[in-house]
Structure 1
Amino acid sequence: MRDLLFRGQTRRKGERVLMNGKPIDANWVYGGIFQGKGDFSVIYTYEPIKKMPVYTDTVGQYAGIDDKNGTKVFEGDILKLKHRLYVIEWKSGCLYASQKSYLKDSVSTFYKPVDNLIAEGAGVIGNIYDNPELLEG
């Protein structure tokens, strides 16, 4: 059975967030989710019991697989295999690794199953929230 695990950002890069008058130190939190209808959702953990507000648009689900280094792969992660970069995203109800191909004036997207990419030796090098510059150019 696959673990149902989610992650979300408590604060964005360079942002200072207060909770009950105290700064939140964590950037990423992991656990179950109470999906919010607005800008925020809640990630909860059991040991210790903790509820943390996170930005809904940063919530990503665990793909159920670890990369070649044992790092858990989540939706929104950027994987590298040889000289190619892939982004983990949902398509047709499943998590896939997408790759953009830039030809002349058009952009095409190719999808590959995440487990195939990991089997070929791909590794997580960042995510689209903390490292968007990896996808530029």
Structure 2
Amino acid sequence: MREIKFRGKRIDNGEWVYGYLVKQFGVFKIYDDSSEDFGNWIHEVDPETVGQYTGLHDKNGREIYEGDILRLWRSVGSNGELRREHYKPLPVTYCNIWCQFVANDESTKNQYCIWSDFGAFEVVGNVYQNPELMKESD
């Protein structure tokens, strides 16, 4: 079964929290079901930082979320070496037309299927904490 979860930056301390997203009375909250502190498992988050888990992992086993910035390789050699690196890092967005998460290249208006267009990918940051990665790629 597909795992549906979200992440967002907490309003109170700026830390990332992961879990179930709820919008209640106009306020976005994430229920952190991994927390063992039951008195502190509901956190208000900045709605601008909320991103959904894509269901994919990068080459290092890290979960990929909407808003992450990926470094991409077109192919992987027979010995596992990464070849033909894509020319710039791209952010992960959701494409309503394709109904899937994509690596979005605003400058060329191209959208790439993460899981089929690339042999390997690595999370190098996210658009909220590392916006300079996107400026460097322009």
TM-score by length of 1: 0.76
- Aligned ranges 1:1-137 → 2 under 5 Å: 1-11=1-11, 17=12, 24=13, 27-36=15-24, 38=26, 40-47=27-34, 48=36, 49=38, 50-81=41-72, 82=85, 83-92=87-96, 93-101=99-107, 108-117=108-117, 120-136=119-135, 137=138
Distance 1:91 1:7, change over 3 A: same
Amino acid at match of 2:53: Y
Percent identity of the aligned residues?
33
Encode CA deviations 1:74-111: one digit per residue, 9 max, x unaligned: 0000001223211110111321111233xxxxxx3211
CA RMSD of aligned residues (A): 1.8
Provide the secondary structure at the position in 1 that maps to 2:106.
Answer: strand
CA distance in 2, matches of 1:91, 1:52: 28
Structure with greater strand percent: 1
Number of aligned residue pairs: give it.
Answer: 117
Structure 1 stretches of 4+ moved >4 Å: none
Contact 1:36 1:56 in 2 (8 A): no
Gaps of at least 5 residues in structure 1 are: 12-16, 18-23, 102-107
Query: What does residue 14 of structure 1 align with?
Result: none
Gaps of at least 5 residues in structure 2 are: 73-84
Encode CA deviations 1:56-90: one digit per residue, 9 max, x unaligned: 11110000010001110000000012232111101
